[in-house]
């Protein structure tokens, strides 16, 4: 029989235009493209019964058949039962009995001499779990935690789970909720009767092991990932609609930037809050069309993907409960995921778990391994003391790079002002550092340090708010206040808190009425009840979950403890976890320099795949890992490093070609390692780069000969062959320091081979002067700040009316900052703008498309004696080094080569390129004339020699000679050299 169906792609017929725009977005075409895919008409909406009857007027039985099928369908969705996996328990015991037994056994081991309060809390929680029928859920989570601990996988919990004493006894959390006064009802209460969330974070490199265990334990057909749907937000809908409508990108970009920077803001609200957006909307028809189209796209699904953390575990095979699909690979090798998102999964009563990979836990795990290897100390999270003074001192100094949750510029500033001395202080700052409560940070800090008196509108608030100095920080405090003043149970109070958080006026009015009645019943005055409700009303929406804050505060503390007590191991582990994130590496390396930890350049004979620790002259340094170089993958390196481990260090570039495994090494990787300085042992970097084709060809040829068991020409020549590819093949090139630095920044994000003078100098400046780009944040925009660094490049520009200005690049510890020197500032500072100069700059911080720039107001040459902070000099050794008037040679080892530098204050280097004439007498006269010229122009600038013979280029520093580089000296030397050489001047970069 024929059945009449409705091919629907949108609901209303009027939606066809916007559906067409959506189709263009999906197919990356424009609306006015005549050749694009399109629906032939506008009738693909959800038709009414009348429309369907009319459509099938010639075969009415088709509609009759459709109605018959509809009447036969009987779908009953049951949302009342929990479909928890069955956890095996001992014979004769229920799940509740078994859970209680495990908890009591662990309780006696964990809690020494437990008080009656502890005992009652455990009994109460077990009773609530029994009444809500979630014992199996807790047993499943206990089983997962047991597996994780047994296999040394680092983990923690997020959210309110840390408020449960039962979970603490089960080993699911590391937080005893009692000392922190965590409210269990925030996690689970009888009144709400919702399945609680036990969200778990695992070290990100071992998360899959946990998922695999669940699949093995409960059956693969019972475990799946959860889908998530990405929807169009305000900005995305404007940008995508603009592209589909064919509006110029610049115009669309201007409109998108007018949308306020607020989380989840929609276009309707944006038009009300942004005057500029509203004005252009009402004055420009093309913008009006763009925004009206974008409004229709808001909230529409844009794409689907695998949820970052969601995993579902079911009692029945999942395909009997939810639709499933493979992930985007489209074959049975992809991961299985549900076609329902998180909320529908929860509504069906399925056990949804949040298994998130947390990189900071991987950093902790790797740090522990390095600490055990280097110190023989087997640390565990349990034996880290929570009152370590050096850890809190580190936080008080604002040394938070690499510290979990505390390393943003804004948070660092507040932590430094707070000077925490307890876990509670850290937890409170994590809770406060968000839009809304952020306004109370200053009050909190001033109250902690006695600069502001802590007052309470009623003594009943003192016990609740004393620990946070009178500021409502946590949701738990809101619950306690509601219970204290209005007589709610904590479970009822949590329902009120959740309702108030929605900010719906009708709900707020209803809850206020309940609160007022409750307060009056308890004997409080109407005025006091009004005042208390007014106090808690704004906080109900944005106060933070204390259990979550405490859990994350512990992770923050653990990372800070390792950074304070095991610096090299922690920073090496941190950089390994961010080896492919250049911005994080730059920040970490700059912080290592500040701490006095040398980060050594990559070296083909010394580096591993990852960052490693080297002990040189009883001083630990961190060696840059080869996988941190752009275009160099870990898998390509492993065969080569296996060769090095088998044959020993490579003695030359030819030895590298002969004995290295080139199975996975390509020309791009070799070139990148050369540019990063990894082959500096074997010759000039530029010469090696120019010879990269020969190097890779020879290496692959040697690989072929080895694999085919043939003998090479060098093997036949034996010891009589001087097989130095460097001497025979490398061109005569001398790569200057500036080019090396450019290459290193390109390949690694930062220069490592240059001297550490810049970091040594900047690390001892007054702390008010910004020396790292990562210290800048949005809160400082449009404010005057002071920065210090070294000038690297200068571009002269003019405004449209011919006024001069400069764009200057200032090198800081962790990257380059752009300065704009307008005419008014330029007139006062003209003489300062030279490459190589160390300057302190004061100016207005600006944000240009997410990049910080400074409009310079004042600039002056760095004077160390003025800028050193005499009140706090932890780096006295460095300060002495950089201010010492006597130049002393320092040698930094990079494999077999010595990179000699000077601790003096030279800004330039005079380089003399001299060709041997073949006549010793003439050469001697030439050298004598050069010496005379140099001795007549003594100063602080270095002199370098490049002596070219028939087959080699000898490069050396003329250490005893220091000159004052002038144009007259350059001219005189060029005249002396004539056709036998040339003179060049290089600006030294610290």
Region 442-448 average pLDDT: 95
Confidence at residue 138, expressed as pLDDT on a 0 to 100 scale: 96
**In this structure, what is the dihedral angle of CA atoms 262, 265, 270, 272, given to the nearest 10 degrees?**
-100
Burial class for 950, CB neighbours closer than 10 Å (0-12, 13-18, 19+): exposed
Q: How many C-alpha atoms does 260 have within 13 Å on its Cβ side?
A: 15
| Total residue count of the chain as it appears in this document | 990
Q: What CATH number matches the domain at 233-299, 1.10.150.170, 2.60.34.10, 1.10.10.1600, 3.20.20.140?
A: 1.10.10.1600
Q: What CATH number matches the domain at 95-228+306-359, 3.30.470.10, 3.30.450.20, 3.30.1900.20, 3.40.50.620?
A: 3.30.1900.20
Is residue 795 a contact partner of residue 754, using CB atoms and an 8 Å limit?
A: no
* Residues 473-496: tens digit of each pLDDT: 998 898 899 999 999 888 888 877
DSSP string computed for 439-477: GGHHHHHHHHTTSS----SSGGGHHHHGGGTT---BHHH
Cα distances (angstroms) measured from residue 225 to each of 215, 294, 342: 11, 32, 10
Is residue 415 a contact partner of residue 590, using CB atoms and an 8 Å limit?
A: no
Confidence at residue 332, expressed as pLDDT on a 0 to 100 scale: 47
* Residues 188-205: tens digit of each pLDDT: 988 877 888 899 999 999
With residues binned 3-state (H G I as helix, E B as strand, rest as coil), the percentages for the chain, rounded to 5, are 50, 15, 35
Region 5-10 average pLDDT: 92
Confidence at residue 729, expressed as pLDDT on a 0 to 100 scale: 61
User: Does position 950 have pLDDT exceeding 80, yes or no?
Assistant: no
d(CA 267, CA 775): 33
* Residues 27-61: tens digit of each pLDDT: 999 999 999 999 989 999 999 999 999 999 999 99
Residue 894 DSSP class? E
Cα distances (angstroms) measured from residue 681 to each of 473, 593, 603, 893, 899: 57, 24, 8, 10, 10
Q: How many C-alpha atoms does 797 have within 13 Å on its Cβ side?
A: 12
Residue 87 DSSP class? P
Query: What is the CATH architecture assignment of 765-872?
Result: Beta Barrel (2.40)
Q: Which of 200, 115, 194 is nearest to 157 (CA)?
A: 200
Q: Which residue ranges make up each domain of the chain?
A: 13-72, 95-228+306-359, 233-299, 366-558, 598-748, 765-872, 906-987
d(CA 679, CA 518): 77
* Residues 746-791: tens digit of each pLDDT: 899 888 865 455 666 666 666 778 888 878 877 788 889 999 888 8
Cα distances (angstroms) measured from residue 419 to each of 397, 415, 471, 555, 768: 8, 6, 18, 18, 17
Match 């099928």 to its residue by tokens.
69
State whether residue 908 is helix, strand or coil: strand
* Residues 369-422: tens digit of each pLDDT: 999 999 999 999 989 999 999 999 999 999 999 999 999 888 999 999 999 999
* Residues 890-927: tens digit of each pLDDT: 333 334 433 333 333 446 888 888 887 777 777 777 88
Show the tokens assigned to 431. 């809770």
> Which of 240-254, 831-845, 858-872, 972-986 has the weakest average pLDDT?
858-872
- Phi and psi at 149, nearest 5°, equal -65, -40
Cβ of 88: how many Cβ atoms within 10 Å? 9
User: Does position 213 have pLDDT exceeding 50, yes or no?
Assistant: yes
Confidence at residue 953, expressed as pLDDT on a 0 to 100 scale: 61
Q: Which of 142, 148, 136, 147 is nearest to 161 (CA)?
A: 142
Q: Which of 136, 39, 28 is nearest to 82 (CA)?
A: 136
* Residues 263-280: tens digit of each pLDDT: 789 999 999 999 999 999
State whether residue 788 is helix, strand or coil: strand
- Phi and psi at 613, nearest 5°, equal -105, 130
> Which residue would you say has higher pLDDT here, 819 or 1?
819
Q: Which of 459, 436, 455 is nearest to 446 (CA)?
A: 455
At residue 136's C-alpha, the angle toward residues 131 and 139, to 5°, is: 120
Burial class for 656, CB neighbours closer than 10 Å (0-12, 13-18, 19+): buried
Question: Parallel, antiparallel, or unpaired: how do β-strands 599-600 and 324-326 relate?
Answer: unpaired
d(CA 438, CA 451): 18
State whether residue 127 is helix, strand or coil: helix
- Supply the mean pLDDT for the chain: 85
User: Does position 255 have pLDDT exceeding 80, yes or no?
Assistant: yes
Confidence at residue 531, expressed as pLDDT on a 0 to 100 scale: 93
396 membership: H or E segment, kind and range: helix 389-396
Cα distances (angstroms) measured from residue 329 to each of 306, 333, 356, 804: 12, 7, 22, 57
The alpha helices in 158-233, defined as continuous H runs, are 165-169, 207-218
Confidence at residue 435, expressed as pLDDT on a 0 to 100 scale: 77
Cα distances (angstroms) measured from residue 565 to each of 379, 383, 557, 621, 720: 12, 14, 12, 15, 54
Confidence at residue 432, expressed as pLDDT on a 0 to 100 scale: 94
d(CA 465, CA 460): 9
């Amino acid at each position: 029989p024929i059945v009449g169906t409705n091919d629907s792609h949108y609901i209303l017929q009027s939606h066809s235009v916007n559906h067409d725009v959506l189709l263009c977005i999906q197919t990356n075409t424009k609306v006015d493209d005549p050749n694009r895919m399109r629906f032939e008409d506008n009738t693909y909406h959800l038709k009414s019964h009348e429309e369907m009857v009319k459509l099938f007027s010639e075969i009415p039985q088709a509609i009759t058949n459709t109605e018959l099928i509809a009447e036969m369908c009987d779908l009953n969705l049951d949302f009342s039962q929990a479909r928890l996996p069955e956890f095996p328990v001992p014979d004769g015991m229920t799940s509740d009995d078994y859970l209680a037994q495990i908890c009591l056994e662990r309780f006696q081991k964990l809690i020494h001499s437990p008080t009656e309060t502890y005992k009652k809390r455990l009994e109460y929680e077990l009773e609530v779990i029994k009444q809500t029928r979630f014992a199996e859920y807790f047993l499943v989570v206990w089983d997962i935690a047991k597996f994780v601990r047994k296999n040394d996988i680092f983990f923690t919990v997020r959210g309110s789970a840390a408020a449960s004493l039962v979970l603490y006894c089960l080993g699911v959390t590391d937080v005893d909720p009692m000392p922190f006064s965590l409210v269990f009802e925030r996690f689970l209460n009888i009144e709400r009767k919702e399945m609680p969330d036990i969200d778990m974070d695992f070290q990100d490199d071992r998360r899959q092991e946990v998922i695999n265990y669940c699949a093995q334990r409960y059956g693969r057909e019972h475990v799946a990932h959860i889908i998530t749907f990405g929807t169009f937000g305000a900005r995305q809908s404007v940008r995508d609609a603009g592209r589909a409508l064919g509006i110029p990108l610049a115009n669309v970009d201007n409109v998108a930037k007018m949308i306020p920077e607020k989380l989840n803001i929609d276009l309707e609200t944006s038009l009300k809050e942004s005057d500029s957006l509203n004005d252009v909307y009402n004055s420009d028809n093309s913008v009006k069309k763009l925004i009206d189209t974008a409004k229709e796209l808001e909230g529409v699904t844009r794409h689907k993907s695998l949820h970052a953390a969601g995993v579902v575990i079911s009692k029945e095979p999942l395909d009997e409960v939810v639709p499933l699909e493979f992930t985007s690979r489209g074959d049975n090798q992809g991961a299985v995921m549900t076609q329902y998102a998180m909320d529908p999964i929860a509504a069906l009563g399925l056990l949804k778990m949040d298994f998130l990979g947390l990189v900071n836990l991987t950093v902790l795990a790797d740090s522990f391994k390095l600490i055990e290897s280097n110190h023989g100390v087997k640390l565990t999270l349990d034996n880290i003391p929570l009152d370590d003074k050096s850890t809190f001192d580190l936080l008080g100094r604002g040394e938070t790079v690499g510290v979990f949750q505390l390393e943003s510029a804004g948070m660092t500033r507040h932590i430094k002002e707070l000077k925490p001395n307890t876990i509670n202080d850290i937890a409170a700052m994590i809770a406060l550092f968000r839009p809304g409560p952020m306004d109370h940070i200053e009050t909190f800090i001033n109250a902690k340090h006695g600069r502001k008196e802590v007052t309470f509108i009623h003594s009943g608030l003192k016990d609740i708010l004393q620990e946070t100095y009178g500021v409502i920080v946590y949701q738990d405090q809101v619950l306690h206040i509601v219970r204290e003043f209005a007589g709610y149970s904590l479970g009822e109070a949590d329902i009120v808190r959740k309702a108030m958080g929605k900010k719906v006026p009708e709900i707020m009015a209803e809850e206020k009425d309940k609160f007022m009645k409750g307060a009056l019943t308890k004997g409080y005055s109407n005025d006091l009840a009004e005042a208390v409700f007014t106090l808690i009303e704004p906080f109900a929406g944005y106060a933070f979950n204390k259990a979550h804050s405490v859990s994350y505060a512990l992770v923050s503390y653990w990372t800070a403890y390792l950074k304070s007590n095991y610096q090299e191991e922690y920073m090496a582990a941190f950089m390994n976890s961010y080896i492919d994130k250049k911005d994080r590496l730059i920040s970490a390396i700059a912080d290592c320099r500040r701490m006095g930890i040398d980060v050594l350049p990559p070296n083909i004979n010394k580096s591993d795949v990852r960052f490693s620790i080297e002990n040189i002259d009883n001083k630990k340094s961190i060696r840059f890992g080869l996988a941190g170089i752009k275009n160099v993958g870990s898998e390509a390196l492993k065969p080569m490093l296996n060769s090095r481990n088998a044959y020993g260090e490579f003695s030359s570039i030819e030895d590298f070609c002969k004995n290295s495994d080139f199975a996975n090494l390509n020309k791009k990787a070799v070139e990148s390692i050369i540019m990063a300085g990894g082959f500096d042992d074997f010759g000039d970097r530029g010469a090696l780069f120019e010879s990269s084709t020969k190097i890779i060809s020879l290496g692959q040829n040697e690989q072929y000969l080895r694999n085919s068991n043939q003998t090479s020409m060098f093997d036949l020549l034996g010891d009589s062959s001087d097989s130095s590819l460097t001497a025979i093949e490398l061109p005569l090139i001398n790569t200057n320091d500036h080019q090396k630095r450019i290459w290193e920044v390109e390949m690694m994000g930062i220069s490592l081979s240059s001297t550490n003078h810049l970091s040594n100098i900047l690390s001892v400046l007054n702390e008010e002067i910004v020396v790292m780009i990562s210290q800048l944040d949005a809160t400082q925009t449009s404010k005057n700040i002071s920065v210090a660094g070294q000038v690297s490049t200068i571009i002269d520009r003019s405004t449209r009316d011919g006024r001069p200005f400069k764009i200057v690049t200032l090198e800081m510890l962790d990257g380059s900052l752009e300065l704009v020197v307008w005419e008014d500032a330029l007139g006062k500072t003209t003489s300062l703008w030279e490459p190589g100069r160390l300057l302190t700059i004061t100016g207005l911080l600006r944000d240009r498309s997410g990049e910080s720039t400074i409009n310079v107001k004042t600039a002056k040459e760095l004077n160390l004696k003025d800028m050193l902070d005499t009140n706090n000099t932890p780096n006295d050794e460095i300060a002495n080094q950089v201010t010492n008037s006597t130049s002393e040679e320092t040698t930094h080892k990079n494999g077999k080569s010595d990179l000699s530098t000077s601790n003096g204050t030279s800004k330039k280097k005079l380089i003399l390129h001299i060709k041997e004439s073949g006549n010793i007498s003439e050469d001697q006269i030439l050298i004598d004339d050069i010496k005379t010229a140099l001795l007549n122009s003594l100063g602080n600038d270095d002199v370098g020699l490049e002596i070219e013979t028939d087959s080699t280029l000898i490069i050396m520093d003329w250490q005893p000679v220091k000159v004052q580089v002038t144009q007259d000296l350059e001219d005189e030397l060029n005249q002396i050299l004539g056709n036998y050489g040339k003179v060049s001047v290089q600006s030294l970069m610290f």
